Amino acid sequence: MLKEISSSRGVPVREFTLVHLMTLQDPSLLPELTVNSDAVTRISSLNESHIDLVNKTWKFGGDEKGYKNIKKLVSHFPTCCIIDENGQPVSWVLVYDYCALGMLYTLPEYRGKGYAKILISTIARRLHAQGYPVYCFIEEENELSYRLFKNLGFTEDPTYKAAWFEFNH
């Protein structure tokens, strides 16, 4: 319906994606982190020097609009990352201005090390301890992320479906 209305009015529209809503009701389901783990000792937060990297890797970023959005999130909302020996992020997760976890990403050469589990567990516990809901949206075709969040104790709300659109793109 949105596509038809926008077309009839000459407004360009692009459908981004369909998403699942995943929530974490019980943070005790999250795995315990080994304090002496190398990755755990390298947990940090993103800063402005990391915005370009996040923007380049974000599916919906790569432009000035994405840069500004990420800058706002990094400046005003919680972030969590794992840094390498040079202090550069190799894996990260942000919190959107509507409190959902998002932009979870691990550089290809660092995948398979459990970094995403560590980051999700860390930021989810932090948000829950501060009284915030812990949730995320996962694209329907992203089976890997869906399984990851399911395995960490997140559950899908089957009554909620969303489609994201961009108008005047």
Query: DSSP letter at 155?
Result: E
Q: What is the CA radius of gyration of the chain?
A: 17
What are the structural domain ranges in the chain? 15-167
Query: DSSP letter at 31?
Result: P
Token pair 């961009």 is found at 166
Tens digit of each residue's pLDDT (9 = 90 or more) over 37-95:
788 789 999 999 999 999 999 988 889 999 999 999 999 999 999 999 999 999 999 99
pLDDT at 32: 85
| Cβ atoms 120, 149 nearer than 8 A | yes
Tens digit of each residue's pLDDT (9 = 90 or more) over 105-148:
999 999 999 999 999 999 999 999 999 999 999 999 999 999 99
| Cβ atoms 94, 74 nearer than 8 A | yes
* Fold held by 15-167: Aminopeptidase (3.40.630)
